[in-house]
Amino acid sequence: MCGIVAGAFQDNVIPFLLYGLKQEEYRGYDACGIGFLEKKEIQIVKKIGRINSLVEKVQNLKGNIGIAHTRWATHGKNTENNAHPHMSMHRIFALVHNGTIYNYKEIRTSLMQKGYVFYSQTDTECLANLLEYEYALSGNILEAMQQMQQRVKGTYALCILNKEEERIYFMKKSAPLIIGIGKQGISLSSDIRALEQQDFSVDLDEEEYGYITKENYFIYNQNQRVTKKEKPIQKNRFQKKEISMDCYMKKEIFEIPYILENILKKYENGFSAEIINLFSQASKIVFIASGTSYHAALIGSQYFSIPTEIYFSSEFITEERKIHSDVLYVFLSQSGETMDVLKALEFVLSHKGITLGIANVENSTLLRKTQYSLQMHAEAEVAVASTKAYCAEVLLLYLLAKYDKISFCKENILLIIREIKEHLKNVESIENIAEQLKEKEHAYFLAKGKDYFLIQEASLKIKEVTYLHSETLYAGELKHGPIALIDEGFPVFLLGNKENNEALLSAREEVEARGAVTYFMTYDAKQDLGFLPLMTDFFLLAFYLAQKKGCDVDKPRNLAKSVTVE
């Protein structure tokens, strides 16, 4: 959610800022904006909607020092006033912000009592005015930032313009921020994707702050200068187009078999000794995740021979939990920046728990903070609705559960991959179902037993990209209330296998007797991972239905790929 790009360049920085924003589009956003220095004045340009509309407004502008942002609305509606960058009252500072300020109302009230005027509904504007206020007291921007650190409660990645200096100041707490170094100059971003035009990167850690110039960068922690290792930025890793499609979601669905082949090849000889020890010595595994990753954990956990528990990351710390030293806590997040997951991780780490992070983004916060880590190797997933990353998570968890017998499982996995390829060759029946559903507003997904975990993900995909209201139900619960909604033409999906078809057939008769249109889908439950070809069909159904309904398939409304707010 939200994206930050900033740069101090020898030449015009605006093309770089626009490139960076485009690279961060996948994160989800409602508005975008750019701020830059021009003759010791800060110029701001904002736009509701897509980045292309911003390009039209700034393509003829020039500036060497600039900040840019894509906003996903949280505090305040999607308006230009609420979009970033935000200016301080006397136009001394402008800043962009990712994160959430918990005590912004308290800060806002205090500043209003001192005569400050606010023009937005956001928590971010209070930071711009607080910085201006603290700067007026100390006369030193770094000192003012330190005072802000003491006063502000919440999470933030900040990039700040001061109208008097050709610098960009930054602050970070519990939100990603990276420095980029290149021949053009120095940059900052919340996402490594936006820094591909640079040569090296530097990761910022908690509570660090400082500034960049055209030639250098300066990092501080508690008033002490910090030296960091510069790492080469891998070029073109997010531009792979092995499969050409008209949108990312479809492309990524068709990449599923190749991604699974790559993961199998990566781990066919097993895992490192330290990873194996984690699982062999644990008395229990606790999986913590959100959304699609949570659904992957529900399925993947079934393959482990030791006890497992699965928690929504947003709920994990809402009650007192005892962290045990002999339990392995596994955190899953596609982006590795999911705020709920990182908050749960902080809790476990603070109680000396053993943690393993699984994410798809190299060098993400999750993979850096956990004691042990594994990358999904699903390659870049741009569409907001996750498809290939879900399959990658499931396969990786399966391989971890079978760490001592992967060679015996290989042939079965290859068989599943071949089945997925066959499904992808014949999608006409899926398109036909999508055609039948395009005018519908509601649907039920029914299953028995562990298949309920599968329909949760199928239903989620339908919700995410088509906006059709879909509910998941255990088939036996249908008659205990939900059947009241069934009327003529109501679509009902039933997912089963050879072992539970009888109970599902009974549910099918119940809904068809009341006019429902049913779709019965089965797989062989005796075959490990036998459901993956069927899940691919559900992903395709969501895609084709979204297209037929005229939805923005890759960028569904209100959603973000990387959920960096609580």
438 bridge partner residues = none
CATH topology of domain 3-232: Glutamine Phosphoribosylpyrophosphate, subunit 1, domain 1 (3.60.20)
| φ, ψ of residue 505 in degrees (nearest 5) | -60, -35
Would you call 429 exposed, middle or buried from its count of C-beta atoms within 10 A (0-12, 13-18, 19+)?
exposed
Task: State the pTM of this model.
Answer: 0.83
**Does 85 sit behind a cis peptide bond, omega within 30 degrees of 0 on the bond before it?**
yes
Quick one: which of 192, 180, 219, 230 has its CA closest to 13? Answer: 180
pLDDT score at 562 = 64
93 bridge partner residues = 162
| φ, ψ of residue 189 in degrees (nearest 5) | -160, 155
Residues in the chain: 566
Is a pLDDT exceeding 70 seen at residue 345? yes
pLDDT score at 239 = 47
pLDDT score at 242 = 52
Q: Point out the residues that are catalytic.
A: 2, 561
Residues of the chain within CATH 3.40.50.10490 domain(s) are 242-425, 426-551
Kindly state the helix (H) or strand (E) to which residue 200 belongs, with its residue range.
strand 200-203
Confidence class for position 49, pLDDT limits 50, 70, 90: confident
Residues of the chain within CATH 3.60.20.10 domain(s) are 3-232
Confidence class for position 496, pLDDT limits 50, 70, 90: confident
pLDDT score at 1 = 57
Confidence class for position 430, pLDDT limits 50, 70, 90: very high
pLDDT score at 244 = 58
What are the residue ranges of helices labelled H in 114-186?
A: 125-138, 141-151
Q: How far apart are CA 212 and CA 181, in angstroms?
A: 10
Q: How far apart are CA 355 and CA 376, in angstroms?
A: 16
Q: Does domain 242-425 have CATH number 3.40.50.10490?
A: yes
Confidence class for position 240, pLDDT limits 50, 70, 90: very low
Q: How confident is the model over 235-241, as a mean pLDDT?
A: 53
216-235 tens-digit pLDDT: 999 999 989 999 999 999 87
Q: Are 75 and 123 in contact (CB under 8 A)?
A: yes
For the chain, the average pLDDT equals: 92
Place of tokens 């960096």: 564
User: What is the CATH number that goes with domain 426-551?
Assistant: 3.40.50.10490
Q: How confident is the model over 260-279, as a mean pLDDT?
A: 95
Could you tell me the CA-to-CA distances from 493 to 440, 456, 484, 520 in Å, in that order?
13, 12, 17, 6
Would you call 262 exposed, middle or buried from its count of C-beta atoms within 10 A (0-12, 13-18, 19+)?
middle
